Copies of this chain bind each other. A is one copy, B any other.
């Protein structure tokens, strides 16, 4: 089995839980949310659930994935909910490939704007740099949104 993009599979709730946990980057509550989106997409389908996936697997396991979907009540806004790359695969351009795949799909669905929300904490500085390097701008900031001292930054990319 070679590496590459593949569709969402029934075993992916477990695969995505393992990947998200392996990064050491997410809280248990965030891990639950990540898994719930996979389960909902598998149960209802991407269109009905609103959760679309791009997954990239190596020979032995899932190496990265992204999850996006339309923003309800908007004409052409999409949220990039998750973009996660396995620790041993980071720094090799897989995040950029996943992002490009999402942007192409979003354009194909008529999307004009892609949003990504992130925490302002220093832990997320590489995430901020990733978005800025790939054409997102920090369009808005909500002070103390997640917790005192932990703002929400909303990144926007015009497609």
Shortest C-beta distance, A46 to chain B (Å), equals 19
**Distance in angstroms between the alpha carbons of A54 and B74 in the assembled complex:** 27
Contacting chain B: which of A84-92, A126-134, A139-147?
A139-147
User: In the bound complex, do residue B74 and residue A145 qualify as a contact, i.e. CB atoms below 8 Å apart?
Assistant: yes
User: In the bound complex, do residue A73 and residue B30 qualify as a contact, i.e. CB atoms below 8 Å apart?
Assistant: yes
Shortest C-beta distance, A66 to chain B (Å), equals 18
User: In the bound complex, do residue B140 and residue A156 qualify as a contact, i.e. CB atoms below 8 Å apart?
Assistant: no
- The verdict on A77 contacting chain B, using a C-beta distance below 8 Å, is yes
Shortest C-beta distance, A28 to chain B (Å), equals 11
> Interface residues of A toward B: which range?
20 to 34
User: In the bound complex, do residue B29 and residue A147 qualify as a contact, i.e. CB atoms below 8 Å apart?
Assistant: no
> Which listed residue, B29, B112, B145, touches A77 by the CB 8 Å rule?
B145
User: In the bound complex, do residue B141 and residue A75 qualify as a contact, i.e. CB atoms below 8 Å apart?
Assistant: no
Beyond the given A74-B146, A140-B140, could you list 7 further A-B residue pairs with CB under 8 A, ordered by the A residue number? A29-B73, A33-B73, A74-B145, A75-B148, A77-B146, A113-B145, A140-B142
Residues of A within 8 A of B (CB): 27, 29-30, 33, 71-77, 112-113, 115, 139-148, 154, 156
